Amino acid sequence: MAPSLLAAVSASPFLLPGSSRRPLGAAPTRRAGLRGNFVEAAELERAVRCLMGGSEEEGRKAREKATEAKALSQNGVASGGSSDASVQKLAREILHKHDDKGCATASGESMGSVVVPASPAGII
């Protein structure tokens, strides 16, 4: 049996959606401009200028990664995407656990249920 999605939620590193083996690379790095938990103004200015269109290679790579992450995120949350599939699997696990305890599910059905976001009109 596959490991429970419930158990894996808190242990997962931040990864690009749709690619379980490629981290985004968003981990903070130690730099000379860092003092304790504060970044010096010069280091902050350099980083902002780099990201806002500077000619530095680092800025170009960061913008490319951001564009890639945006596209992958949009694909992941779309119907049938990796995040959508994970939420569906999590919902089935939760409903299955409730079924095992003799509790009714929201739809009155068991494992075949599909999770659909509630509309304001559907809220009692």
Residues 73 and 91 in one domain: no
Measured between alpha carbons, how far is 80 from 82 in angstroms, rounded to an integer? 7
- Residue 13: what pLDDT? 44
Please count the CA atoms within 13 angstroms of the CA of 81 that sit on its side-chain side. Answer: 15
Report how far apart, in Å, the C-alpha atoms of 18 and of each of 3, 26, 75, 119 are: 18, 17, 8, 28
User: In this structure, what token pair is assigned to residue 84?
Assistant: 């959508």
Say if 98 falls within a structural domain: yes
In this structure, the answer to whether residues 55 and 83 fall within a common structural domain is: no
95 CB burial (10 A radius; 0-12, 13-18, 19+)? buried
Number of domains present in the structure of the chain: 2
| Residue 45 covered by a domain | yes
Q: Are residues 83 and 72 in the same domain?
A: no
Any domain includes 52: yes
pLDDT, tens digit only, all 124 positions of the chain: 445 544 544 444 444 444 444 454 444 455 555 567 788 888 888 878 877 776 677 777 888 888 999 998 898 888 888 888 899 999 999 888 766 555 555 555 544 555 555 555 555 4
What are the angstrom distances between the C-alpha of 118 and each of 106, 115, 122?
A: 12, 9, 6
pTM check: above 0.85: no
| Residues spanned by the domain of 90 | 79-117
Q: Is residue 20 part of a domain?
A: no
Each as own residue / partner, the long-range contacts of residues 25-28 (CB below 8 Å, 24 or more positions apart, any chain) are 25/65
Q: Is residue 60 a part of any domain in this protein?
A: yes
Residue 10's pLDDT is 42
Statement to judge: residues 58 and 35 lie in one domain: yes
Asked if 70 and 89 sit in the same domain, the reply is: no
Confirm whether 63 is domain-assigned.
yes
Q: Are residues 70 and 107 in the same domain?
A: no
Q: Which residues contact 53 (CB under 8 A, 6 or more apart)?
A: 59
